[in-house]
């Protein structure tokens, strides 16, 4: 007999307050997005609102495909790196726009101990487990449901991850809802429930370029973080167990705006050498569980900005250091070529490898509890 998740469904109904969008069918456009072998036919969902904003998502990997926002002159451009079909998403290995799970980021050695039992996960990043394993949640076709309202259209993607998938314990039911808000913001609501204790850490791996996708690198763009602390990593890109204050560590202090490329080019810190740039977890100031500012990205050349708000405790800042290798020869949208640093990922999440490091709070989902988090990416113009 198939187990139901009444508390999970009740949670979605209560917190997302979404109703089927039947009055304004033009707010959500659906079109074929190609087929992926072993998955089936994918669909692209494009949400639009009265202010002229639009954002697109596909059920393959619950992936964020596009986001059109205006610059200071009122010109709308697509600022999310992506691809023209589900097949292309399946070919690249950069996790572009995808929901990463069951555990985003790295788990050292692909091993962890939970309730006295050691689990061996799939290893797919050197000797580490990364973004859910060999076949993470980014490589599945999710069930889609159009929802939201005329003013704020939405699409909800859901799937069931069976016990043992990539080595994880417990059957997990998960839903990710993307809402295009009236002001053009993209709000992401995550919810999950499990029938056994299991680690969970969900994020979206969108890469942003405020000059427009396919226009070159983000090295000339400016970043500001609402964070006083970050986690140093070792040569295997795993946090070494310490938490460093950014004060006095110029390459990592983004409490005011700094140009991304100038810090990377300096290479005056071993931490930057390890990853060829930024691939570090920052602890977000404020109370985890409350929606609060995390980051602001600015392109001085056109005045376009985005701010990130999240309920998560931390955020991985990845400056696209290995994009050329991860994408290979796969052409981006409209034939764009994405090289290293073509986009920056601002991945809200829990601390990587927390389950193996007692000083950090491991995010363990247990039966009867609902995992939930919210992140909002909000467009803006420099004043």
Q: How many CB atoms lie within 10 A of CB 143?
A: 12
Q: How many residues does the chain have?
A: 383
Name the residue among 67, 356, 62, 82 with its Cα closest to residue 238: 356
pLDDT value at position 12?
A: 54
The set of catalytic residues is 205, 347
DSSP code, position 60: B
- The one-digit pLDDT tens for each residue of the chain (383 residues) are 333 444 555 545 543 433 333 343 459 999 999 999 999 999 999 999 999 999 999 999 999 999 999 999 999 999 999 999 999 999 999 999 999 999 999 999 999 999 999 999 999 999 999 999 999 999 999 999 999 999 999 999 999 999 999 999 999 999 999 999 999 999 999 999 999 999 999 999 999 999 999 999 999 999 999 999 999 999 999 998 899 999 999 899 999 999 999 988 766 678 888 878 999 999 999 999 999 999 999 999 999 999 999 999 999 999 999 999 999 999 999 999 999 999 999 999 999 999 999 888 889 999 999 999 999 999 999 98
Work out the end-to-end distance of the chain between its first and last CA atoms, rounded to an integer number of angstroms: 58
pLDDT value at position 250?
A: 87
Write the DSSP assignment of 317-331 as a string of letters. EE--TTHHHHHTT--
Structure tokens at 341: 């640093």
Give the CA angle between residues 33, 79, 72 to the nearest 5°. Answer: 140
pLDDT value at position 25?
A: 42
DSSP code, position 201: B
Residues 6 or more apart in contact with residue 159 via CB below 8 angstroms: 62, 137, 140, 142, 143, 173, 174
Give the CA angle between residues 282, 285, 288 to the nearest 5°. Answer: 95
CA distance 269 to 233: 12
Name the residue among 315, 313, 306, 319 with its Cα closest to residue 348: 315
CA distance 64 to 77: 15
CA distance 374 to 181: 13
CA distance 239 to 129: 14
Q: Look up tokens 């600022």; give the residue.
A: 79
Question: Is the whole-model pTM more than 0.85?
Answer: yes
Q: Are 294 and 308 in contact (CB under 8 A)?
A: yes
pLDDT value at position 26?
A: 52
| DSSP-assigned beta bridge partners for residue 161 | 172
CA distance 214 to 81: 7
Residues 6 or more apart in contact with residue 1 via CB below 8 angstroms: none
Q: Are 206 and 188 in contact (CB under 8 A)?
A: no
Question: What's the distance, CA 43 to chain centroid?
Answer: 20
CA distance 312 to 292: 9
pLDDT value at position 10?
A: 54
pLDDT value at position 267?
A: 60
Which CATH code, of 3.10.580.10, 1.10.10.10, 3.30.390.30, 2.70.98.10, is assigned to 6-381?
Answer: 2.70.98.10
pLDDT value at position 273?
A: 84
CA distance 298 to 383: 11
CA distance 64 to 99: 8
The dihedral of CA 129, 296, 54, 335: what is its sign?
negative
**Tell me: the pLDDT tens digits for 36-90?**
999 999 999 999 999 999 999 999 999 999 999 999 999 999 999 999 999 999 9
What residue ranges do the domains of the chain occupy?
A: 6-381
Structure tokens at 270: 């071993």
């Amino acid at each position: 007999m198939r187990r139901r998740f009444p508390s999970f469904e009740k949670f979605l109904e209560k917190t997302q307050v979404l109703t089927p969008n039947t009055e304004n069918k033009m707010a959500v456009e659906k079109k074929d997005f190609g087929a992926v072998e072993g998955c089936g036919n994918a669909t692209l969902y494009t949400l639009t609102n009265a202010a002229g904003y639009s954002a697109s998502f596909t059920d393959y990997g619950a992936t964020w495909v596009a986001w059109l926002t205006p610059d200071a002159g009122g010109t709308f451009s697509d600022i999310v790196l992506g691809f023209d079909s589900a097949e292309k998403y399946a070919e690249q290995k950069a996790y572009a726009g995808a929901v990463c799970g069951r555990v985003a980021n790295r788990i050292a050695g692909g091993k962890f101990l939970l309730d006295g039992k050691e689990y061996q996960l799939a290893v797919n990043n050197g000797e580490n487990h990364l973004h859910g394993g060999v076949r993470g949640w980014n490589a599945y076709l999710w069930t889609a449901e159009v929802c939201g309202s005329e003013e704020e259209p939405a699409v909800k993607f859901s799937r069931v991850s069976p016990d043992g998938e990539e080595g994880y314990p417990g059957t997990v039911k998960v839903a990710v809802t993307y809402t295009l808000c009236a002001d053009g913001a993209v709000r992401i609501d995550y919810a999950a429930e499990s029938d056994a204790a299991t680690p969970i850490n969900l994020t979206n791996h969108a890469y942003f370029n405020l000059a427009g996708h396919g226009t070159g690198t983000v090295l000339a763009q400016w970043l500001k973080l609402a964070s006083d602390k970050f986690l140093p990593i070792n040569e295997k890109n795993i946090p070494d167990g310490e938490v460093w204050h950014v004060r006095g560590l110029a390459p990592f202090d983004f409490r005011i705006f700094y140009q991304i490329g100038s810090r990377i080019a300096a290479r005056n810190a071993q931490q930057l050498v390890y990853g060829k740039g930024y691939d570090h977890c920052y602890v977000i100031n404020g109370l985890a569980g409350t929606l609060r500012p995390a980051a602001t990205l600015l392109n001085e050349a056109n005045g376009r900005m985005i701010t990130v708000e999240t309920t998560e405790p931390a955020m991985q800042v990845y400056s696209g250091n290995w994009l050329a290798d991860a994408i290979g020869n796969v052409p981006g949208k409209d034939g764009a070529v994405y090289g290293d640093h073509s986009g920056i990922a601002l991945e809200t999440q829990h601390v990587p490898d927390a389950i193996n490091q007692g000083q950090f709070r491991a995010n363990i989902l247990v039966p009867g509890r609902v995992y939930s988090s919210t992140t909002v990416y909000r467009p803006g113009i420099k004043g």
